[in-house]
C-alpha cells in the first residue's frame, strides 16, 4: 500500500513535470533579439515584402483588367476578379501596420475608401471625361480604389456579367486598376531601402537619427498601436456595424462577398507583425517579449492564433452570415477583441517598462 | 442646564468649523507634469496619439464614443444611396476624418480630395446675431467641391510669397505668406466681400476645453489692458444655435463657436452639406436644395450626438521629457518671453455631473481661450462676432509636438502657412510682438531649448 502510494505520487510528479511545457514557465529565453533586431526584421521581413507583394499583385490586376478590356470574355472577367481578390490579400495584411507613408501620403483612403459613390460614378461613366491613371488620381476617394473597381467588376450582389460591361466601364476599370497599381508602387518605393529617402531607414534608425521616431521604444509601440487599431476597426466597426443593424448594405466588400476573407487576412496580418513572419520567420515582438516574459508572449500568440481560427466555418459571404451565423460572428469578434485588449494593456505596458528610452 | 447645553452646542460648532477646510490644491511640484489632460491623458506618441478615448469612460459612455468614432470616419456619398447618403450638393470634404487626419490637422490646400483648408466668406455688416453677414449665392463658406451635375461655388488658388527672418546666431528662417485668388465662381459675388482661411484643427481634448467655466475664461480677460503688460485678451461672444443664446465662444480659430454640438453640427452642414436638426439647411447658397432624395434632415440626431460625444471624449496625449534639463530650460525661456501670458499653461475645469471625466480636471492646454491681436500679417480683416480682423483665439499648444507625427508633415497657424513651430512663432505680431522679438534674439542653444519644450507638449 505504501509502495503503491509512493508510486502514485511519483507518477503524479512525473505527469506534473511533463505537463510543464516551456509555454507555462515565466522564464527568460536565450538568444533574445534586441530592439534593433525587432525593428530591422519588422521592416525587412514584414513591411517591405508585404508591400512588394502588394505591388506585384496590383500590377497583375492591371494586366488582367487590360486583357479584359482588350478582349471582353467571361473568362477574362473571372481572371480580373481573381486578380482583384489576390491583391486584396496583401492589402489586408498591410492594414495591420497602417502607419508611415500609407497614412502620411493618404494612400489608405485613396485605395480603400468606402462606400462607393454610385450615383456620381454613374454620372462620371455617362460623361465624356477621358479616363486615365492621372485623371482618376484627382477624383474623390469614393470614386476610386479597390471598392470602386470591385463595384464595376462584380456588380451589385456579384451579378455582373461580361455582357453587362460597357466600353466606358472597361475604360474606367483600366484607369482605376492603373491608379491602384501606381499607388501600390508608390507605397512599395516609400519603404524600399534602395531609394535615398525611405521609410525603412526612418524606422530602423529610430532614436539614432530618425526624424520620425524619437526612440526605439516609440517605434516598437507604434506596432502595438497599429495592431490594436485594426483589431478595433474590424471587430468594433466592420463586423459590428452590419451585424448590429442586420443590414448587409453595411458590409464593406459587399460586391465580391469577400469581407470574411478580409477580416481573416487582417488578423493574419496582425500575427505576421507580432511574430515578424511573412514568407520567412524573423525576430519579432514575440521573441523580444518571450525573453523576459514567455507567458505573455505565448498568451498573445495563442490569442492571435485563436482570432485567425475563429473564422473557420464562417460563411465567406459576410452579408449572409449576419443573418445565419450570428454566434460565430460574435465568437470571432470576441477573439479579436481579446487580441486588442492584451496588446493595449499587457504588451504596451511591457514595452513601456522594459524597452530602454 | 440651558447654559451648559448652549456651551456644549457652541463647542461642537466650533470643533466642526475648525475641521471644515476649503479643499486645497497640491503644491505645483506634486502634480504629474505629464498629465496634460488630467485623468484624461494617454501615453501614446504614435500617429494615433490624438485618437484615444478618455481612459475612465463608463461602459455606456465608451459605447457612445465608439459609435461616434465609426461615424467620424464615414464617407458620405451622393443620394440616393443605401449608406451615408446626402453629400453636398456642394461641400468641402466627404467625411470628418478627411480633414482631421488621425483626429489631427490636415493639408492647407484646396480642391483636392485630401484638402483641409476652407474659406469663410462674408460681406460688410452683420447677421441678425452679430455674426458675419453671409453673401448671396455663397452663404458663409465657400464649398470648393460638388457632386456630379453641380459646380463648386468657387476654386481657390494659393500662391506663397517668401520672407526671410535672420535670427541671432546667424540662422535664417524662410517664412511663406499665402495669397489667395478666387476663380471659377458659380455666380457673381456682386458685393465687397471678405475671406478667411481656416485649416482643420486637431479635435482631441475639446471636451475639457468645453468644461472650463465661462467664469474661468473671463478671469483671464483684460480687455483694456488694465495691468499694462501689453496683453489684452478678451472673449468672443457668439450665437449658439443649439441653445438659442449668446455664449462665450471657445472653439474655432476665432472662438466663434460656443459648444461642441454647434461645432459638429455646423461642420456637417457647411463642410459636407449634411443637414441636421441644428442646421436644417446645408448653406445659404443651397437653400432648399438637396442632393437626390436624401432624407431630411440627412443626419439623425443619434449620430450627431454620438459624433459630438466622440470629440468631447478624445483624450490628450501625455507630455514627454518633463524632467529633461534642456526641456526645463526651454520652459523657463517660455516664461521669460512671456509666452505664458496668452498660452496659459493651466486651467481647471468646472463640475459636470453628466460627464464626471471632465469634472475638476487640472489641464495644461496652454490657452486662455481668449482673443488677441496678432498683428497685421496674420490678420484676415474679417470680423467674426466680436473678434476683429486682427484677432485670433490663443491656439492650444498641447499635443503640438506630435503634429508632425499625427498629421505628417504638420502645419501650424490658422491657414497652415507655418511648416514648423519656429515658423509659427516668427509669424506672431500684435500683442505677441515682444515675445517674438525675444525669441528672435535668443542664442541657438536657448532657441533649441524653447523648441524642445514646446515639442514636449
CATH value at residue A145: 1.20.1420.20
Q: From the candidates A97, A118, A120, A228, which should be mutated to test the interface with B, based on the most B CB atoms within 10 A?
A: A120
Residue B428 in contact with residue A235, Cβ under 8 Å?
A: no
Task: Calculate the dihedral angle through the C-alpha atoms of A8, A11, A17, A18, rounding to the nearest 10 degrees.
Answer: -140
Q: What is the DSSP letter of B308?
A: H
User: Could you give the CA distance from residue A74 to residue A254 in angstroms, rounded to a whole number?
Assistant: 21
Spell out which residues of chain B touch residue A203, defining contact as CB-CB under 8 Å. Answer: none
Spell out which residues of chain A touch residue B103, defining contact as CB-CB under 8 Å. Answer: none
A132 contacts: CB under 8 Å, gap ≥ 6: A175, A178
User: Could you give the CA distance from residue A164 to residue A184 in angstroms, rounded to a whole number?
Assistant: 29
pLDDT at A42: 98
Domain count of chain A? 1
Residue A150 in contact with residue A65, Cβ under 8 Å?
A: no
Residue of A nearest to B80 (CA): A119
Q: What is the DSSP letter of B314?
A: B
Q: For residue range A127-151, what is the model confidence (pLDDT) as tens digits?
A: 998 899 888 988 999 999 999 999 9
pLDDT at B225: 85
Q: Do residue A229 and residue B48 have CB atoms under 8 angstroms apart?
A: yes
pLDDT at A21: 43
pLDDT at B223: 87
Q: Domain limits at A161?
A: 31-354
Bridge-based pairing of strands B141-142 and B117-126 is antiparallel
Q: Is residue A143 part of a domain?
A: yes
Select from A103, A115, A218 the Cβ nearest to the Cβ of B77.
Answer: A115
Residue of B nearest to A357 (CA): B321
The CA-based diameter of chain A, rounded to the nearest angstrom, is: 97
User: Could you give the CA distance from residue B275 to residue B7 in angstroms, rounded to a whole number?
Assistant: 69
CA angle A189, A190, A193 (to 5 degrees): 75
Select from B46, B70, B113 the Cβ nearest to the Cβ of A241.
Answer: B70
Q: Do residue A119 and residue B77 have CB atoms under 8 angstroms apart?
A: yes
Q: Is residue A316 part of a domain?
A: yes
3-class secondary structure, B109: coil
pLDDT at A17: 43
Select from A99, A110, A120 the Cβ nearest to the Cβ of B147.
Answer: A120
B227 contacts: CB under 8 Å, gap ≥ 6: none
Q: Do residue A140 and residue B80 have CB atoms under 8 angstroms apart?
A: no
Q: Collect the ranges in chain B with pLDDT lower than 50.
A: 287-288
Residue A177 in contact with residue A183, Cβ under 8 Å?
A: no
Q: Is residue A77 part of a domain?
A: yes
Q: Is residue A317 part of a domain?
A: yes
Spell out which residues of chain A touch residue B43, defining contact as CB-CB under 8 Å. Answer: 352
Spell out which residues of chain A touch residue B94, defining contact as CB-CB under 8 Å. Answer: 140-142
Residue of B nearest to A230 (CA): B48
Say what the pTM is: 0.90
Q: Do residue B114 and residue A106 have CB atoms under 8 angstroms apart?
A: yes
Rounded to a whole number, what is the distance in Å from the CA of A114 to chain B's nearest CA?
A: 6
- Encode chain A (357 residues) as per-residue pLDDT tens digits: 444 545 545 444 444 444 444 444 455 555 789 999 999 999 999 999 999 999 999 999 999 999 999 999 999 999 999 999 999 999 999 999 999 999 999 999 999 999 999 999 999 999 998 899 888 988 999 999 999 999 999 999 889 999 999 999 999 999 999 999 999 999 999 999 999 999 999 999 999 999 999 999 999 999 999 999 999 999 999 999 999 999 999 999 999 999 999 999 999 999 999 999 999 999 999 999 999 999 999 999 999 999 999 999 999 999 999 999 999 999 999 999 999 999 999 999 999 999 997
Q: Is residue A7 part of a domain?
A: no
**Cell numbers 442632393: residue:** B291
CA distances from A256 to A149, A322, B38 (A): 10, 16, 47
pLDDT at B291: 53
Grid coordinates representing B134?
453671409
User: Could you give the CA distance from residue B379 to residue A79 in angstroms, rounded to a whole number?
Assistant: 58
Instruction: Spell out where B245-398 has E strands.
Output: 245-249, 316-317, 347-348, 362-363, 371-373, 391-393
Q: From the candidates B42, B48, B80, which should be mutated to test the interface with A, based on the most A CB atoms within 10 A?
A: B48
pLDDT at A15: 46
Select from B81, B145, B408 the Cβ nearest to the Cβ of A119.
Answer: B81
Q: For residue A344, give the nearest of A270, A242, A280 by alpha carbon.
A: A270
Q: Is residue A17 part of a domain?
A: no
Burial class (CB in 10 A: 0-12, 13-18, 19+), B388: middle
Q: Do residue B77 and residue A249 have CB atoms under 8 angstroms apart?
A: no
Q: For residue B173, give the nearest of B158, B162, B189, B187 by alpha carbon.
A: B162
Residue B402 in contact with residue A225, Cβ under 8 Å?
A: no
Spell out which residues of chain B touch residue A237, defining contact as CB-CB under 8 Å. Answer: 69-70
Q: For residue B141, give the nearest of B149, B150, B131 by alpha carbon.
A: B131
Spell out which residues of chain A touch residue B148, defining contact as CB-CB under 8 Å. Answer: 119-120, 123-124, 127
User: Could you give the CA distance from residue A89 to residue A337 in angstroms, rounded to a whole number?
Assistant: 22
Rounded to a whole number, what is the distance in Å from the CA of A222 to chain B's nearest CA?
A: 6
Residue of B nearest to A228 (CA): B48
Residue of A nearest to B456 (CA): A214
Query: Per-domain residue ranges for chain B?
Result: 28-455
| Helix pair angle (A48-70, A74-94), 10° resolution | 160
Q: For residue range B181-199, what is the model confidence (pLDDT) as tens digits?
A: 999 999 999 889 999 999 9
Q: Is residue A1 part of a domain?
A: no
User: Could you give the CA distance from residue B218 to residue B236 in angstroms, rounded to a whole number?
Assistant: 10
Grid coordinates representing B87?
453629400
ipTM over 0.95: no
3-class secondary structure, B342: coil
Q: Do residue A117 and residue B87 have CB atoms under 8 angstroms apart?
A: yes
Spell out which residues of chain A touch residue B83, defining contact as CB-CB under 8 Å. Answer: 115, 249-250
Q: Do residue A225 and residue B66 have CB atoms under 8 angstroms apart?
A: no
Chain B residues within 8 Å of chain A (Cβ atoms): 43-48, 66, 69-70, 75, 77-84, 87, 94, 97-98, 101-102, 112-114, 145, 147-149, 292, 405, 408-409
Q: Do residue B47 and residue A114 have CB atoms under 8 angstroms apart?
A: no
CA distances from A191 to A184, B275, B285, B333 (A): 11, 42, 45, 39
Q: Is the dihedral of CA B134, B135, B136, B137 positive or negative?
A: negative
Amino acid at each position: 500500500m505504501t509502495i503503491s502510494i509512493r508510486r502514485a505520487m511519483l507518477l503524479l510528479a512525473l505527469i506534473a513535470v511533463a505537463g510543464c511545457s516551456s509555454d507555462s514557465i515565466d522564464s527568460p529565453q536565450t538568444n533574445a533579439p534586441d530592439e534593433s533586431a525587432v525593428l530591422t526584421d519588422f521592416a525587412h521581413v514584414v513591411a517591405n515584402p508585404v508591400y512588394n507583394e502588394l505591388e506585384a499583385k496590383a500590377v497583375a490586376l492591371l494586366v488582367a483588367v487590360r486583357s479584359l478590356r482588350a478582349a471582353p470574355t467571361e473568362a477574362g472577367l473571372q481572371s480580373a476578379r481573381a486578380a482583384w481578390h489576390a491583391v486584396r490579400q496583401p492589402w489586408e495584411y498591410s492594414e495591420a501596420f497602417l502607419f508611415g507613408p500609407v497614412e502620411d501620403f493618404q494612400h489608405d483612403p485613396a485605395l480603400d475608401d468606402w462606400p462607393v459613390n454610385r450615383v456620381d460614378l454613374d454620372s462620371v461613366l455617362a460623361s465624356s471625361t477621358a479616363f486615365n491613371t492621372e485623371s482618376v488620381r484627382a477624383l474623390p476617394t469614393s470614386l476610386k480604389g479597390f471598392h470602386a473597381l470591385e463595384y464595376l467588376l462584380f456588380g451589385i450582389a456579384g451579378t455582373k456579367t461580361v455582357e453587362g460591361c460597357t466600353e466606358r466601364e472597361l475604360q474606367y476599370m483600366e484607369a482605376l486598376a492603373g491608379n491602384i497599381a501606381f499607388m501600390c508602387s508608390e507605397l512599395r518605393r516609400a519603404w524600399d531601402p534602395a531609394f535615398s529617402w525611405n521609410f525603412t531607414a526612418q524606422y530602423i534608425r529610430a532614436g539614432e537619427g530618425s526624424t520620425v521616431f524619437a526612440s526605439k521604444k516609440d517605434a516598437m509601440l507604434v506596432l502595438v498601436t497599429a495592431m490594436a487599431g485594426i483589431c478595433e476597426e474590424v471587430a468594433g466597426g466592420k463586423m459590428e456595424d452590419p451585424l448590429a443593424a442586420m443590414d448587409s448594405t453595411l458590409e464593406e466588400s459587399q460586391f465580391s462577398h469577400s469581407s470574411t476573407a478580409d477580416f481573416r487576412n487582417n488578423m493574419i496580418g496582425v500575427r505576421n507583425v507580432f511574430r515578424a513572419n511573412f514568407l520567412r520567420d524573423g525576430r519579432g515582438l514575440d521573441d523580444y517579449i518571450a525573453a523576459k516574459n514567455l507567458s505573455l508572449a505565448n498568451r498573445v500568440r495563442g490569442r492571435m492564433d485563436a482570432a485567425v481560427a475563429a473564422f473557420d466555418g464562417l460563411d465567406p459571404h459576410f452579408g449572409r452570415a449576419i443573418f445565419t451565423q450570428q454566434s460565430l460572428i460574435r465568437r470571432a469578434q470576441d477573439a479579436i477583441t481579446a487580441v486588442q485588449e492584451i496588446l493595449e494593456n499587457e504588451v504596451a505596458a511591457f514595452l513601456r517598462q522594459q524597452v530602454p528610452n | 442646564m440651558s447654559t451648559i447645553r448652549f456651551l456644549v452646542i457652541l463647542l461642537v460648532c466650533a470643533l466642526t468649523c475648525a475641521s471644515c477646510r476649503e479643499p486645497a490644491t497640491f503644491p505645483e511640484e506634486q502634480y504629474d507634469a505629464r498629465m496634460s489632460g488630467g485623468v484624461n491623458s494617454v501615453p501614446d506618441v504614435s500617429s494615433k496619439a490624438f485618437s484615444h478615448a478618455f481612459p475612465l469612460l463608463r461602459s455606456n459612455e465608451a459605447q457612445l464614443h465608439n459609435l461616434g468614432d465609426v461615424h467620424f470616419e464615414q464617407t458620405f456619398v451622393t443620394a440616393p444611396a443605401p449608406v451615408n447618403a446626402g453629400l453636398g450638393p456642394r461641400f468641402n470634404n466627404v467625411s470628418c476624418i478627411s480633414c482631421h487626419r488621425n483626429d489631427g490637422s490636415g493639408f492647407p490646400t484646396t480642391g483636392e480630395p485630401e484638402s483641409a483648408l476652407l474659406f469663410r466668406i462674408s460681406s460688410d455688416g452683420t447677421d441678425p446675431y452679430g455674426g458675419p453677414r453671409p453673401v448671396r449665392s455663397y452663404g458663409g463658406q465657400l464649398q470648393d467641391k460638388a457632386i456630379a451635375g453641380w459646380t463648386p461655388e468657387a476654386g481657390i488658388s494659393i500662391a506663397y510669397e517668401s520672407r526671410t527672418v535672420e535670427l541671432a546666431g546667424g540662422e535664417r528662417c524662410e517664412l511663406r505668406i499665402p495669397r489667395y485668388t478666387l476663380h471659377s465662381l458659380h455666380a457673381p459675388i456682386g458685393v465687397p466681400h471678405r475671406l478667411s482661411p481656416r485649416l482643420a484643427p486637431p479635435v482631441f481634448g475639446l471636451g475639457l476645453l468645453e468644461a472650463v467655466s465661462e467664469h474661468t475664461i473671463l478671469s483671464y480677460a483684460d480687455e483694456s489692458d488694465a495691468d499694462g503688460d501689453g496683453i489684452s485678451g478678451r472673449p468672443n461672444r457668439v450665437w449658439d444655435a443649439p441653445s438659442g443664446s449668446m455664449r462665450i465662444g471657445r472653439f474655432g480659430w476665432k472662438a466663434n463657436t460656443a459648444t461642441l454640438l454647434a461645432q459638429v453640427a455646423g461642420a456637417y452642414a457647411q463642410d459636407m452639406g449634411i443637414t441636421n436638426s441644428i442646421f436644417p439647411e446645408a448653406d445659404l447658397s443651397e437653400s432648399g436644395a438637396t442632393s437626390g432624395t436624401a432624407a431630411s434632415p440627412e443626419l439623425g440626431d443619434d449620430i450627431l450626438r454620438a459624433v459630438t460625444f466622440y470629440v468631447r471624449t478624445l483624450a490628450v496625449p501625455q507630455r514627454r521629457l518633463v524632467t529633461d534639463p534642456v526641456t526645463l530650460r526651454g520652459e523657463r525661456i517660455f516664461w521669460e518671453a512671456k509666452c505664458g501670458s496668452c498660452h496659459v499653461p493651466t486651467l481647471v475645469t468646472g463640475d459636470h455631473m453628466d460627464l464626471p471625466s471632465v469634472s475638476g480636471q487640472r489641464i495644461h492646454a496652454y490657452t486662455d481661450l481668449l482673443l488677441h491681436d496678432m498683428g497685421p500679417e496674420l490678420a484676415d480683416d474679417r470680423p467674426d462676432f466680436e473678434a476683429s480682423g486682427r484677432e485670433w483665439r490663443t491656439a492650444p499648444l498641447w499635443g503640438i509636438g506630435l503634429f508632425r507625427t499625427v498629421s505628417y508633415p504638420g502645419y501650424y497657424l490658422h491657414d497652415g502657412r507655418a511648416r514648423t513651430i519656429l515658423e509659427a512663432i516668427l509669424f506672431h505680431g500684435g500683442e505677441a510682438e515682444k515675445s517674438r522679438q525675444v525669441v528672435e534674439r535668443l542664442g541657438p542653444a536657448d532657441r533649441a531649448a524653447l523648441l524642445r519644450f514646446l515639442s514636449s507638449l
